Amino acid sequence: MMTEFPQERIVPWAAARSIFGATAVMGELDGMTQKLEPVLLSGDRISIGKKGLVFKQDSLLRAIKSGFSMPELFPILMNPFSAIKAIITLKRISRFYDPKLNLGKSLPVILRAGLETVTVYLNHHSRFYGMFSDFSDELITFNLAGSEPIGWLRRSTEGLFTAGSEPAVGNPSVELTFLNKEIAFEGLLRGIDQLGATASGEMMIQGRLPLMDKIGYVSRIAQKEVPQPRL
C-alpha cells in the first residue's frame, strides 16, 4: 500500500536508503561496519547514522555525486567520533562500485543499495500508485548462476515493498539469474535491458514475468534519477 510521502523528497530519501542498504551488507561481510540508517528531519534535512552526520538534501546528493559535500557543522561538533566514523564509511561505499574490486564482495553491496532505492520508489512515488494492485504476497530473488540468491525484494499482502540480502524465506514468485558476476555488475551499474539480456542468454527470468516487467520499469526510472557514488 502506498503511503503519503513528500514527492520532492523521494530522490534524496532513496539515496539515503541506498547508503543504508550498502552499509547493511558491508556489516554482514566484515562484521564491523555500522549500518548508516537514515532519518528524515525537518527543513529538508536527513541524518545519516546514529548521530553526528546531518545533511541538507541537496548536500547529500552532491556528496554522492562528487564524493564531497559539507554536512551540518553543529551535529559534528556535538558527536565528532560518531560523525567521523560515518564519513569514513561513506567514503568506503564508493569502492564497491569499482569493477577492479572483488566482484564477489561488490555485487551484494551494490545490489542491496539499488534495491533499497527501488523500494522507496515502489512504496512512495505517486507515479506508481496502483501499479501492483494485481499482485499480493510476492518474493523476487536476484541470483548468480549456480549460487544462492544475493538479494531480494518482497511485497507484503498490505502492499509494502521491502528489500534484503539475508536468506529469503518462502518460495519466490520471480527468480532473476545473471549468467556471471561481470554481467551482473554491469547491469546493476548501467541498467538492465531485460528483453535483450534474456534473448542473449546473459540473464534468465523465471516466474511471474509481468511482475518483473513492472519492477524493471520502476528500477530504470529510479536508476536515472538517483545518483550512484562517484569513485
Q: What is the pLDDT of residue 4?
A: 80
Q: What is the pLDDT of residue 229?
A: 84
Q: What is the pLDDT of residue 189?
A: 83
Q: What is the pLDDT of residue 2?
A: 54
At a CB cut-off of 8 Å and minimum separation 6, what does 16 contact?
38, 46, 48, 60
Q: What is the pLDDT of residue 191?
A: 77
- What does the alpha-carbon distance between residue 149 and residue 172 come to, in Å, rounded to a whole number? 11
Report the phi/psi class of residue 31: left, alpha or beta, with left for phi > 0 and alpha for psi in -120 to 50: left
Give domain 103-225's CATH number out of 3.40.50.300, 3.30.1050.10, 3.30.1490.20, 3.30.930.10. 3.30.1050.10
- What does the alpha-carbon distance between residue 46 and residue 196 come to, in Å, rounded to a whole number? 38
Phi, psi of 48 (to 5 degrees): -120, 115
- What does the alpha-carbon distance between residue 74 and residue 44 come to, in Å, rounded to a whole number? 16
Q: What is the pLDDT of residue 205?
A: 92
Burial class, 115, CB count within 10 angstroms (exposed 0-12 / middle 13-18 / buried 19+)? buried
- What does the alpha-carbon distance between residue 15 and residue 200 come to, in Å, rounded to a whole number? 32
- What does the alpha-carbon distance between residue 28 and residue 3 come to, in Å, rounded to a whole number? 30
Ordered by start, the domain boundaries in the chain are 7-97, 103-225
Q: Report in angstroms the alpha-carbon separations of 229 from 6, 63, 83, 87, 128.
A: 24, 8, 19, 13, 26
Q: List alpha helices for the chain, DSSP H.
A: 10-30, 57-66, 73-78, 80-93, 103-124, 181-190, 194-200, 209-225
Q: Give 126-130's long-range contacts (Cβ < 8 A, gap of 24+).
A: 126/2, 126/7, 127/221, 128/2, 128/218, 129/2, 130/2
Per-residue pLDDT of the chain (231 residues; tens, 9 = 90+): 555 899 999 999 999 999 999 999 999 989 889 899 999 999 999 999 988 799 999 999 999 988 778 899 999 999 999 999 999 999 899 899 988 888 888 999 999 999 999 999 999 999 998 899 888 899 999 999 988 899 999 999 899 999 999 988 899 999 999 999 988 888 888 777 777 777 788 889 999 999 999 999 999 999 999 998 864
